[in-house]
Amino acid sequence: MPIVHIKKLQENAVVPTYGSEFAAGADLYALEACVIPPAQTRLIHTGLAMEIPVGYAGLIYARSGLASKRGLAPANKVGVVDSDYRGEVMVALHNHSEVEQSVAAGERVAQLVVTPFLKVDFVEADALEDTVRGEGGFGSTGRK
């Protein structure tokens, strides 16, 4: 199992935790309380820096309950923590609801999935291989 080293930048920072044995995402916790007005985004500090292993990325996703019940989700939909980043991990939390939302210190605000990725070489070509789908774009699969 890969190891992610965590550095607490603030004493009251909470190390990510998994909610269940088979959870893919580890919960990230707010360092401080804040209020997010409707349709606004706030940077939520975690007070943590981490060392993601080379060949992996930390992907920051919404917590389903927070998003569906309170309208709070990462503004960028999925945040990316690269293996060479050593600064504080923060969550750009957006309030999609029509009412002000409060975030408490120590509240779970997002989840972090650490996953391997493939780095590729992009090579310019004059032509691409044909496929059945071809140039069918948004919503084109399954259409007759």
What single-letter amino acid sits at 71?
Answer: G
CATH number, domain with residue 47: 2.70.40.10
Residue-wise pLDDT for 20-33, tens only, equals 999 999 999 999 99
The beta-strand segments (E) located in 1-144 are: 5-8, 17-18, 26-29, 34-36, 41-51, 56-61, 72-74, 79-81, 88-95, 101-103, 108-116
pLDDT of residue 143: 63
Residue-wise pLDDT for 46-77, tens only, equals 999 999 999 999 999 999 999 999 999 999 99
CA–CA gap between residue 90 and residue 10 (Å, rounded): 13
Q: What is the pTM of this model?
A: 0.89
Which pLDDT band holds residue 144 (cuts at 50, 70, 90)? low
Residue 39 belongs to some domain of the structure: yes
Q: Is residue 19 scored above 80 in pLDDT?
A: yes
User: Which residues constitute the domain of residue 40?
Assistant: 5-116
Residue 133 belongs to some domain of the structure: no
Residue 20 belongs to some domain of the structure: yes
Q: Are 52 and 4 in contact (CB under 8 A)?
A: yes
Instruction: Give the number of domains in the chain.
Output: 1
Q: Is residue 136 scored above 80 in pLDDT?
A: no
Residue 124 belongs to some domain of the structure: no
CA–CA gap between residue 42 and residue 94 (Å, rounded): 7
